[in-house]
Amino acid sequence: MSESLFVGVDLGGTAIKVGLCNAAGNLLRMHEGPTQAAEGADAVLTNIAAYVQELVPPGTTEWDAVEGVGIGIAGFLNIPEGIIDFTPNLPFKDVPVKRIMEEKLGKLVKINNDANVAALGEAWGGAGKGIANCVCYTLGTGVGGGIILNNRLIEGFTGMAGELGHMSIVADLEAIQCGCGKMGCLETVSSATGIIRMAKDAVERGDRTTLSLVEGELTAKDVVDAAKGGDEVAQRIVSRAAFYLGKSMATVAIVVNPQRFIIGGGVSKAGEFLFSQIREAFDKYTPENARAGVEIVAAELGNNAGVVGAAGLFLRA
Amino acid sequence: MSESLFVGVDLGGTAIKVGLCNAAGNLLRMHEGPTQAAEGADAVLTNIAAYVQELVPPGTTEWDAVEGVGIGIAGFLNIPEGIIDFTPNLPFKDVPVKRIMEEKLGKLVKINNDANVAALGEAWGGAGKGIANCVCYTLGTGVGGGIILNNRLIEGFTGMAGELGHMSIVADLEAIQCGCGKMGCLETVSSATGIIRMAKDAVERGDRTTLSLVEGELTAKDVVDAAKGGDEVAQRIVSRAAFYLGKSMATVAIVVNPQRFIIGGGVSKAGEFLFSQIREAFDKYTPENARAGVEIVAAELGNNAGVVGAAGLFLRA
């Protein structure tokens, strides 16, 4: 009998990526095509089925070895029932995706939200490979998260477990309001958006910084590059993002005590310059017993984490 | 065939409590006797065996129905191997308790630490009955904790998961050092010890408070009673303990998203006066989605939680 295979689908607003994984979490190959969201939910689901069958043609030995198809979706989902309640960026409302796709493909289908699936991908086939307890942070427009304990994704009572960007961590006196309405959430300082906001504030109030010389829209990379180049204003901004990340990890370490923290997303490309400052804050606030042997490492799969994690829904979630 | 039964043992420094539970988590009856720690580890283990067999006499149908004996121990344990590495308050060092007790009793034996076992007891047979995801706080000399997700106790990489008293939560500018060596741990303000410390500080610096009239050693109950009676200094102390408890729960809610928080230990006897202030801080710092339907309730089993939880090691851990 041939090795079990799993297909992962990353359903994005403009492109659908599909990938074939083996049971060891290795991504064997990928394929992708346009989402064509404007043509409606039916067309999008037909596209998913087509791209999956282009990736693994039905009738082949490989197709027969596919045990399931996992789909990662940005939206509000009824995960156990496999229904998309609502998606902000796609034309789905109350669509029983699991049932429809199982009929189209003749394979078991599972759905889960994109942040959880990306965390699962890193844990399963990326920087968390072989680690039973790990916590993933994704530093992008917001701060996403995912927690894997005993090899299983933690979802919680209402599916909010691991929404690490909304930890209230910034000291009250320096807290600003988050998009979620609360004050002092981690993502107000440690996301790309937070870093850019702090940089714009500095430029607007006339701080002497090379950031005032940047032409066009400021990016988080501009701020990191200026900090690496010695700009003190930029250094303070990056240090603040790193400090609160490390402090939030100290709290996570006491709550769930993972073996490894995995940091991905655009901001994580700042590399060791950022990571060393995160570790410093983590060490400062974490008791020795929850810190010994705990690693803080960079994500490895980049944009493929979603595809690998979606395939992994059949093994780990 | 008769119903499965489970024995729980709460191994304390002065007394050993044993209890018989059924599979529904109901405590059928208890028994206890002196620990006699001064006579050494062998004598203590012989006592445990004797009290267990006084609780459920061998040869009876009940004895035959006992599927296992769980033991909760305050100390440093190798849980999977069932070995006590070291206990601060008992004469154990590198003792293979599981093996020895299995030989003495002819039943399966499991060990776990006392805080985890108490949390498991509340979750299994107390205020968390029927709830798959709950988090327990014990407000005593320190602040203990335990986290149950999907009906299982979370232990983490080095067994530090759920050590909620050591969350770094107090704002840096008002943080003091904890017994663990770190600054600003929750138990510096929300344990009985923390409350007493703040009260003594107030009396020593000459604050006008009825606490200065208390004869003998101040207790946390004195402070709570004074606060309930309208003493503003005492109210500030209790409010601070409650505020940081509620704020720590906001963080826990984002990390593991439990359905219920259960608060036990001596300080929790302050009741609704304390709980309403905890809820206020929790609501302030928790995003709506992690807060909807989440309850903060009092523990129900009191000192019996350890016995029930130890018995529960065979069902839930």
Domain that holds residue B144: 129-299
Q: How confident is the model at residue A261 (pLDDT cuts 50, 70, 90)?
A: very high
The pLDDT assigned to A3 comes to: 87
Q: Is B252 found in the same domain as B152?
A: yes
Q: A252 at the B interface (CB within 8 A)?
A: yes
Backbone angles phi, psi at B145, to 5 degrees: -155, 165
Q: Is A12 found in the same domain as A81?
A: yes
Please provide the average confidence, as pLDDT, over all residues in chain B.
Answer: 93
- ipTM, two decimals, is 0.85
B171:A172 CB<8 A = yes
Q: Is B133 found in the same domain as B171?
A: yes
Q: How confident is the model at residue B89 (pLDDT cuts 50, 70, 90)?
A: confident
The pLDDT assigned to A88 comes to: 76
Residue A315 has pLDDT above 80, yes or no: no
Rounded to whole angstroms, the Cα distance separating B149 from B161 reads 12
The pLDDT assigned to A141 comes to: 86
Q: Is residue A126 part of a domain?
A: no
Average of pLDDT values for A52-74? 96
Q: Is B29 found in the same domain as B107?
A: yes
Among chain A residues, the shortest Cα distance to B154 is held by A256
Angle at B111 between CA B109 and CA B113, to 5 degrees: 165
**CA atoms lying within 13 Å on the CB side of residue B136:** 37
Alpha-carbon distances of A115 from A220, A259, B6, B184, B192, rounded to whole Å? 21, 20, 41, 31, 40
Q: B175 at the A interface (CB within 8 A)?
A: no
Q: Is A214 found in the same domain as A152?
A: yes
Q: Is residue A125 part of a domain?
A: no
Residues whose CB falls within 8 Å of the CB of residue A60, separated by 6 or more in sequence, listed in order: none
Query: Position of tokens 């988050």?
Result: A178
| pLDDT tens per residue across span B255-308 | 999 999 999 999 999 999 999 999 999 999 999 889 989 999 999 998 899 999
Q: Is B189 found in the same domain as B66?
A: no
The pLDDT assigned to B13 comes to: 85
Best of A256, A259, A296 to mutate (most B CBs within 10 Å, chain B): A256
| pLDDT tens per residue across span A7-41 | 999 998 889 999 999 988 889 999 999 999 999 99
Q: How confident is the model at residue A78 (pLDDT cuts 50, 70, 90)?
A: confident
Per cent of chain A over pLDDT 70 is 99
Distance from CA of B212 to the nearest CA of A (A): 32
DSSP state of B177: B
Q: Is B168 found in the same domain as B77?
A: no
- Higher pLDDT: B89 or A162? It is A162
Residue A98 has pLDDT above 80, yes or no: yes
Q: How confident is the model at residue A277 (pLDDT cuts 50, 70, 90)?
A: very high
Distance from CA of A292 to the nearest CA of B (A): 8
DSSP chain A: -PPPEEEEEEE-SSEEEEEEEETTS-EEEEEEEE--GGG-HHHHHHHHHHHHHHHS-TTSHHHHHEEEEEEEESSEEETTTTEEEE-SSSS-EEE-HHHHHHHHHSS-EEEEEHHHHHHHHHHHHSTTTT-SSEEEEEESSSEEEEEEETTEE---SSS-TT-GGG-B-S-GGG--B-TTS-BSBTHHHHSHHHHHHHHHHHHHTT---GGGG--SS--HHHHHHHHHTT-HHHHHHHHHHHHHHHHHHHHHHHHT--SEEEEESGGGGGTHHHHHHHHHHHHHHS-HHHHTT-EEEE-SSGGGHHHHHHHHHHHH-
User: Which token pair is B292?
Assistant: 């909807």
Q: Is B244 found in the same domain as B215?
A: yes
Best of B256, B259, B289, B291 to mutate (most A CBs within 10 Å, chain A): B256
Contacts A164 to B, Cβ<8 Å: 254-255
Q: Is A149 found in the same domain as A100?
A: no
The pLDDT assigned to A159 comes to: 82
CB of A154 closer than 8 Å to CB of A316: no
Best of A149, A177, A254, A295 to mutate (most B CBs within 10 Å, chain B): A254
Residues whose CB falls within 8 Å of the CB of residue A317, separated by 6 or more in sequence, listed in order: A110, A112, A116, A120, A152, A153
Contacts A157 to B, Cβ<8 Å: 133, 257-259, 293-294
The pLDDT assigned to A114 comes to: 86
Q: B247 at the A interface (CB within 8 A)?
A: yes
Average of pLDDT values for B242-267? 96
- From A74, A79, A75, A56, select the one nearest A66 (Cα to Cα): A56
Alpha-carbon distances of A122 from A113, A148, B202, rounded to whole Å? 15, 10, 51
The pLDDT assigned to B113 comes to: 86
The pLDDT assigned to A89 comes to: 77
Average of pLDDT values for B155-165? 89
Rounded to whole angstroms, the Cα distance separating B135 from B112 reads 17
Rounded to whole angstroms, the Cα distance separating A266 from A142 reads 11
Number of domains, chain A: 2
Query: Position of tokens 């809820």?
Result: B279
Give the one of A167, A287, A294 whose C-beta lies nearest to B157's C-beta: A294
User: Which token pair is B44?
Assistant: 């203590």
A251:B250 CB<8 A = no
B158:A289 CB<8 A = yes
The pLDDT assigned to A193 comes to: 94
Q: Is residue A260 part of a domain?
A: yes
Average of pLDDT values for A128-146? 92
Q: Is B203 found in the same domain as B108?
A: no
The pLDDT assigned to A316 comes to: 61
DSSP B61-87: HHHHHEEEEEEEESSEEETTTTEEEE-
Give the one of B150, B252, B287 whose C-beta lies nearest to A255's C-beta: B252
Q: Is A97 found in the same domain as A155?
A: no
Average of pLDDT values for B71-87? 88
The pLDDT assigned to B103 comes to: 97
Contacts A169 to B, Cβ<8 Å: 251
- Using only C-alpha atoms, what is the Rg of chain A? 21
A156:B256 CB<8 A = yes
Task: Give the CATH number of the domain where residue A35 resides.
Answer: 3.30.420.40
Residue A317 has pLDDT above 60, yes or no: no
The pLDDT assigned to B316 comes to: 61
| A34 strand-pairing partners | A15
Contacts B259 to A, Cβ<8 Å: 157
Q: Is residue A278 part of a domain?
A: yes
| pLDDT tens per residue across span A180-204 | 889 999 999 999 999 999 999 999 9
Q: Residue B113 — left, alpha, or beta (φ > 0 → left; ψ -120 to 50 → alpha)?
A: beta
Q: B316 at the A interface (CB within 8 A)?
A: no
Query: Position of tokens 């839930």?
Result: B316
User: Which token pair is B217?
Assistant: 């050693």
Q: Is B284 found in the same domain as B220?
A: yes
